[in-house]
Amino acid sequence: MKNKIKLLTAIVASSFCLNSFAATENFAGTFDTIKDVSISQITPLNLVGLALANGSACTLAASTDGTNGPTYVGDVTMNLGSGNDNAAGADIGLMSGGTCLTTATGGVMGIYEIDGASGASVKVTIVSGSNADLLIVPAGCIGDYVAGADGDACDAIAGGASGGVAGTQVTVRLAGATDTGTLGEGVPVAGKTRIVLGGVTTSQQALLAGTPYTVDFDINVIY
């Protein structure tokens, strides 16, 4: 019985001891907000020359800067200031494909600009579009900036293989205050980058001559 009393006394004493040293303090948290990210269209995508038969397809190629090829729009257009000094190619707007009525230069690459926090990274996906008339699978490249004077690139980006399907997510850095144009080509704009898109359009039913057709697709941008 004595042992039980002693144990109870120890617990009460311990409880009293803890309460004697209890303390409450208020602390403040500090939070910095960043600019909302947005996207705007500079030039609408326009693919031409599609044959009228169901299943016809036309391709407007938009290469990356890494290929330095004839279908790259150039570092000046992409505002890439410290990449590989890639100029605009000779075949920008060239349409191709076995069921494309023309291989002449006549297509117009879509150019879109992302605007956000200076030097921030964004995640970008393209969702291919379709309707009763057309399927569009956009493909091209997006500017990715490296802080400082060297290393900017235009990374490949594309939509999924069918309508409503997203392509692989691409993470890029927006231009920052320290990005410069050391090679004398494009001029970076802090907080921004650009996407250039061509792609493949395919008819999903027989089309009418002399009729304009449109199909929507999505570009999703998040921090």
In this predicted structure, the answer to whether residue 15 has a pLDDT above a threshold of 70 is: no
pLDDT at 25: 78
> Per-residue pLDDT tens for 21-32?
677 777 777 667
Among 182, 191, 200, 64, which residue's Cα sits nearest to residue 122?
191
pLDDT at 67: 62
The strand pairing partners of 195, in sequence order, are 112, 142
Instruction: Give the start-to-end residue ranges of the domains of the chain.
Output: 43-222
pLDDT at 24: 74
Q: Which residue has the higher pLDDT, 30 or 20?
A: 30
Give the helix ranges, DSSP H, for 21-164: 75-78
pLDDT at 102: 75
pTM: 0.84
Share of the chain above pLDDT 90, in %: 64
